[in-house]
Amino acid sequence: MPQMAPIKWLSLFIIFSITFILFNIMNYYNIFPIMPKSLVENKSVKNNYMNWKW
């Protein structure tokens, strides 16, 4: 069975490392952080709910 040259191992390692790093970077920036409740409560967001009286 033929052996693989060391340069091929190095190129495979580099390709898989770059793929792994790019995958982690894309997953890291894809997550939207949840705002703490204190910031949500301080915002003056008014919800206008319409109560229909029939």
pLDDT the model gives residue 14: 96
pTM beyond 0.75: no
Helix spans in 1-54 (H): 6-30, 37-42
The pLDDT tens digits of the residues spanning 2-54 come to 677 888 999 999 999 999 999 999 988 887 777 666 655 555 556 666 777 66
Instruction: Give burial (CB, 10 Å; 0-12/13-18/19+) of 25.
Output: exposed
